[in-house]
Amino acid sequence: MAAIVTRFPPSPTGALHLGGARTALFNWLYARRMGGRFIFRLEDTDVERSKQEYTDSIIEAMKWLGVDWDDGPFYQSKRTEIYLSFIEKLVQTGKAYYCTCSQQTLEEKREQALKTGGKPKYDGLCREKGLPKTADAVVRLKTPLAGKVVFDDAVKGTVAFSNEELDDLVICRSDGTPTYHLAVVVDDITMGVNTVIRGDDHLSNTPRQIHIYQALGEPLPLYAHVPMVLGPDKKRLSKRHGARSVLEYRDMGILPQALINFLVRLGWSCGDQEFFTANELKEKFNLESIGRSAGVFDPQKLLDINGDHIRAAKVEDLLDGFRTFASKQGLATKDDTFDLAVIETLKIRAKTLEEMAQKAAFYYTDKVDYEQKASEKFLTPQNRPVLEAVVEALDGLDVSDLKAQEAAFEKVMEKTGLGFGKIAQPVRVALTGSTASPGLFEMIAVLGGETTIRRINDTIGQIKA
């Protein structure tokens, strides 16, 4: 059996969005699972809409996701001579022909067909004329006039199209540029692609491309048309559903492994398992488990999965990302030891790196800003003796010893007659300005005894008697 070869061929007419990224992942994971090759190419023949900035952003997004390719990136714009040689072969073998029908003539034929209840398709006027190449001629493929195109799709099963529904496809424009269908087939043939995994919005393109394969006498690839990603309203996913480009998700603090996990699970399953690492997906991904119904985009589920991946990650692997978002928040991070300790206290409480940086702000400030409600409720004259007792208990203590901290707070509980919660909340507000924070002992250990005592004393000084 030949090695599996898949490909991902985006058009650089925009950024890489979720649907395209999922297609790339399916092809990449299947190639990795099967020990095959994954090819990356850019269909950049739309000169007006293709831009270098989009090419760069697509490549950047692929690299950020960790989707590595074995060959490429290839650019269709640099392969014109290859396409023209195949077009010439089709003409020479009588499988294609030159057509000189003008746009006006074609439009008139279309309107006439619609008036008489016919199909608005090319009627084959030039099909058997044997016309020579001229400046205004296009090249059309001779599509079979009867019968069906039938193929087995790895997701949809047996699919059939009637040839009577199709006309003679233009495969080369009058300016000498190949059309999309011709270029795609030639690329896949010359690059050895034998497995085409793509969105089912391409399903209607398949009979056209099969005709080109057959005209060239080439074997067909295995097709797998996967359902589209839809919004919660069951309509095609778009920005109105909150969907962003891949790099925008990076910039909001989503981890690449979480986005991969989320996208692959949109339409593919492996029992009841929800959490996957990229390596697990490389081992388990298959075509048989791709569902036939569309995946529904749920932004909250993405956040939940991202939170799971943050919790599962090593703090060292979160450090660079955390510092990036901390810098965006205007926070001056410190040495590795301190920053890693901060991350450790927050990783179970944040669903994005951006949220983690926001929650970390109190660690990197010299002056705590108290939330009004928290201050009014807990920084009261009645709690001043409590805070004073905590300072006394922590003075000279090695706060990195959590058991020593626990013993110190037990002494405060005995002295004040209050439960731990009644003591912890005013201390929490004094240290962070908020009633929500990491675990008190862990937080004090990171801040250190000197900073902890200074902040509590500053708070005591601001409490009105």
417-426 pLDDT, tens digit per residue, is: 999 999 999 9
pLDDT tens-digit map of 313-365: 999 999 999 999 999 999 999 999 999 999 999 999 999 999 999 999 999 99
Residue 48: pLDDT band with limits 50, 70, 90: confident
One DSSP character per residue, 30-76 reads HHHHTT-EEEEEE----TTT--HHHHHHHHHHHHHHT---SEEEEEG
Residue 465: pLDDT band with limits 50, 70, 90: low
Does position 45 have pLDDT exceeding 90, yes or no? no
Checking 340-345 for CB contacts under 8 A at 24+ apart, the result is 340/315, 340/316, 341/445, 341/446, 342/446, 343/315, 343/318, 343/319, 344/315, 344/442, 345/438, 345/439, 345/442, 345/443, 345/446
pLDDT tens-digit map of 112-134: 877 777 778 898 999 999 999 99
- Give me the residue spans of the domains in the chain: 1-78+227-307, 80-225, 313-364, 372-462
Q: Do domains 313-364 and 372-462 have the same CATH topology?
A: no
Tokens 């990650």 belong to which residue? 313
pLDDT tens-digit map of 223-270: 999 999 988 887 888 777 777 899 999 999 999 999 999 999 999 999
The total number of residues written for the chain in this structure: 465
Domain 313-364: top CATH class:
mainly alpha
In eight-state DSSP terms, residue 101 is -
Residue 108: pLDDT band with limits 50, 70, 90: confident
Q: Which fold has domain 1-78+227-307?
A: Rossmann fold (3.40.50)
Give the pLDDT confidence score for residue 185 in this predicted structure: 98
Residue 164: pLDDT band with limits 50, 70, 90: very high
Query: What is the arithmetic mean of pLDDT over 214-221?
Result: 98
Give the pLDDT confidence score for residue 110 in this predicted structure: 84
pLDDT tens-digit map of 263-277: 999 999 999 999 999
Domain 80-225: top CATH class:
alpha beta
d(CA 299, CA 254) in angstroms, rounded, equals 11
Give the pLDDT confidence score for residue 1 in this predicted structure: 64
CATH number for the 372-462 domain, one of 1.10.20.10, 3.40.710.10, 1.10.240.10, 1.10.10.350? 1.10.10.350
* Residue 229 dihedral angles phi and psi, to the nearest 5°: -95, 125
Query: What is the arithmetic mean of pLDDT over 64-87?
Result: 97
Q: Indicate which residues carry an active-site annotation.
A: 239
pLDDT tens-digit map of 302-314: 999 999 999 999 9
